[in-house]
A and B are shown apart, each in its own frame.
Chain A
Amino acid sequence: MIASAALPLFACAWSLLALAGRALIDPKRLRASGATRSDRRLTLRPIVKRLLWTLVLAPGLLLIALGAWPALLIWLGATTAIGWGLAHTLAPPPRR
């Protein structure tokens, strides 16, 4: 059980880190949350965006290559849930 759980857990942890990185420097999120002026000017070059998304999706490609279908499904599901969780966690509080 531990061995079979290790693969999807590792994949999810990798994607969590990559997603967190993507979310933290997401220009739209920074602008929407009223970040500092320098952050507001931050933009991401397309190649950087693509690279970050590739990092997020890399574990999925690896799991497909390994034919680890249950791990792939767990990773897919967990990554979407993690993405949602990150978006909510990093959301700014409403204006008072």
Chain B
Amino acid sequence: MIALERDRTRTLLAIHGWAGVLLGLLLYVVIATGVVAVFADEIGDWASPIDPPAAAPFPAGLGLRIAELSRQIDPAYVDELNLYPRAGGRIEAFFHRHISVAGDAQPHAEGAVFELHPRTLEVLSRRDGIDDEVQAHDTSNALAAFLVDLHVSLHLPAPYGYLVTGVLGLAMMVAAVTGLLVHRHLLKELFTIRRFRDALLARRDRHVVAASWNLPFAFVLAFTGSYFSFAGSIGIPVMAMVAFGGDQTALIEAIVGTPPTENPAPAPMADLDGMLADAARRAGTAASFVSVSHYGRADAQVTVFTPPAAGELISHNLVYDGSSGAFVREKPGLGLVPSAGGALAAVMAPLHFGNFAGLLSKSVWFALGFASCYVTLTGLQLWTTRRAESPPWRAAARVVIGVGYGLPLALAATPIGYFAGRVAGVDRTEAPMLLALAAAAALTALLGTGRVPAERNASTLLRLTGAVLLSLPLLRWASGGPGWITASAHGLTTLMSMDAVLIAGAWLCWRAGRPRAAPTALATNGDAAAPLESAP
């Protein structure tokens, strides 16, 4: 054992504790943004609705429309084509080719994106350029994309953002496993929250009970989250290095399959609508994404991706010959033939996103994510408040309250930036959204620096969050969105549901923001930590 001086030990303990708090706070940010990201599609539909709403993700006549559009762009871009639904059901058609950008090891896509109305197929907007640029100017989907990026990479540049969130996922997994091992006796106290005079002790019991119930899914969400963070940034390069001698192309061919033999002869595309209808028949549900390689060539290949059908967990990838329209095969998500590893990889997405059974599964995943947030935040509060007799830890407790209750406020404020940017005609709405987020963070920091007790700050922040949530339906309408009468008449159910959820959320925040007694540092006598007698 290394002998340390008392002061040095104290310093190291402080570093250890502060590092844990910092990591915990970042983890809280990732989990809280993940809770919001569960409803990313609905948030996009709410912020940028199409009136009347889309009847199907890819309507009849799309194939002909795509053929028309392919004649309007630089022929160099008519190579690859991606089709996917966006906010409000808009259809994005991205004609592109792959290019290398100096100083960037990753290949990029350069081309033209058309945003189409999901009913009339008229072009709503067109953006030309490299993938990052065209995505940055995607106004209709910007709010949902901003929130998802915050969860996925904390808006840090690739691959650092993925690495940070991946490490945080691993930390959460370690916390879940070690928590189970250390506190497994607490599984016998799943319903036990004791009566204490001290609010901190009562809060500790609530933390333990929430953590015990949330344990299995905390592990699942952390494991799958780490998988997604590391798969692209580390997993594929490492696998390529180990199994394929560094040849990423060989690795991708082993996973995705060898592309068909090159045949650059021009050939008209087969009926895309027919392929989509066939895919819907085979998969039992409509397509959610279409990828065409070598559009307009004899070796064109169309891959139709569908979400899981009712009663299924795994999505389908159906491959068609682009020039004949003939069905070729159903491709596993990973590898060339069905395998246990492929099935395991395929369930990662539904397990993490909870999007396998519509709003029902998403609502459950939202609740589970909320529970994880609660456990993380109350854990951090307990850790810092127990040490609040020391001034640095008192400051840490204030920081935890600031981040814990300021983050929901900042997330609620983000749509304000989005709507303001849209009204102002800003081309890239990321800047006003960041501004709104930063303004909420600054307000939180300002509140935190005052002499007001941290608990009262938490109440204030909750009430502010409630007020901001309440303002969002009004702002959405004021910025040109449909009102409730129009929404009701035209069947914009997602929009009305989201407004209702925001109003309910506002009421809950306002109610939760009622001033409460401040917890004190844990007493070392009396009712502190008295264990219950063993189970009868």
User: Which residues in A have some Cβ–Cβ distance to B below 8 Å?
Assistant: 1, 3-5, 8-9, 22-23, 26-29, 31-34, 43-44, 68-71, 73-74, 76-78, 80-81, 83-84, 86-88, 90-96
Contacts and interface: CB of A to CB of B under 8 A. Distances in A.
Nearest to A32: B194
A68 B368 contact: no
Contacts of B213: 80-81, 83-84, 87
Given A28-B535, A43-B536, A88-B206, A74 B192 contact: no
B130 to A, nearest CB: 38
B193 interface: yes
A84 B192 CA distance: 11
A-B pairs with the 6 shortest C-beta distances? A43-B536, A91-B193, A84-B213, A77-B364, A81-B367, A4-B310
B471 interface: no
Contacts of A86: 191
B388 interface: no
Contacts of B517: 94
26 contacts: A1-B358, A5-B358, A9-B360, A28-B188, A28-B189, A29-B193, A31-B532, A32-B195, A33-B193, A70-B313, A74-B361, A74-B364, A76-B216, A78-B367, A81-B371, A87-B191, A87-B192, A87-B210, A87-B213, A88-B193, A91-B193, A91-B206, A92-B195, A94-B197, A94-B199, A95-B196
Given A5-B357, A84-B213, A26 B206 contact: no
B228 interface: no
B193 A84 contact: no
A5 B360 contact: yes
B209 A4 contact: no
A87 B354 CA distance: 24
A77 B368 contact: yes
B312 A70 contact: yes
Contact of B191 (A5, A23, A70): A23
B207 to A, nearest CB: 11
B357 A74 contact: yes
A22 B192 CA distance: 12
A70 B350 CA distance: 9
B381 to A, nearest CB: 16
A73 B192 contact: no
Contacts of A73: 313, 350-351, 356, 361
Contacts, number: 122
B493 interface: no
Contacts of B354: 77
A80 B370 CA distance: 12
Interface of B: 188-199, 202, 205-206, 209-210, 213-214, 216-217, 308, 310-313, 350-351, 354, 356-358, 360-361, 364-365, 367-368, 371, 517, 532, 535-536
- Residue among A1, A9, A44, A84 having the largest count of chain B Cβ atoms under 10 Å: A84
A77 B355 CA distance: 13
Given A5-B357, A73-B361, A84-B371, A26 B192 contact: yes
B310 A1 contact: yes
Nearest to A24: B191
Contacts of B357: 4-5, 8, 70-71, 74
Contact of A34 (B195, B209, B216, B311): B195
Contacts of A44: 536
A23 B190 CA distance: 9
A94 B518 CA distance: 12
A60 to B, nearest CB: 12
A84 B209 contact: yes
A83 B364 CA distance: 13
B530 to A, nearest CB: 10
Contact of A74 (B197, B205, B209, B360): B360
A26 B194 CA distance: 13
Contacts of A26: 191-192
A33 B195 contact: yes
B193 A32 contact: yes
Given A32-B532, A80-B217, 18 more contacts: A22-B191, A23-B191, A31-B532, A34-B195, A70-B357, A74-B360, A78-B364, A83-B213, A87-B209, A87-B213, A88-B193, A88-B209, A88-B210, A90-B191, A91-B205, A93-B195, A94-B198, A94-B517
Nearest to A12: B364
Contact of B193 (A5, A76, A83, A87): A87
Contacts of B310: 1, 3-4
A43 to B, nearest CB: 4
Contacts of B209: 84, 87-88
Contacts of B210: 84, 87-88
B311 to A, nearest CB: 6
A70 B190 contact: no
- Residue among A23, A31, A68, A95 having the largest count of chain B Cβ atoms under 10 Å: A95
A85 to B, nearest CB: 8
A83 B205 CA distance: 15
Contacts of B205: 91
B349 to A, nearest CB: 12
B206 A81 contact: no
Nearest to A96: B197
A90 B170 CA distance: 33
B178 to A, nearest CB: 19
Nearest to B197: A95
Contacts of A29: 191-193
Nearest to A84: B213
A92 B196 CA distance: 9
B8 to A, nearest CB: 40
Contacts of A9: 360
Contacts of B198: 94
B231 to A, nearest CB: 21
A27 B191 CA distance: 10
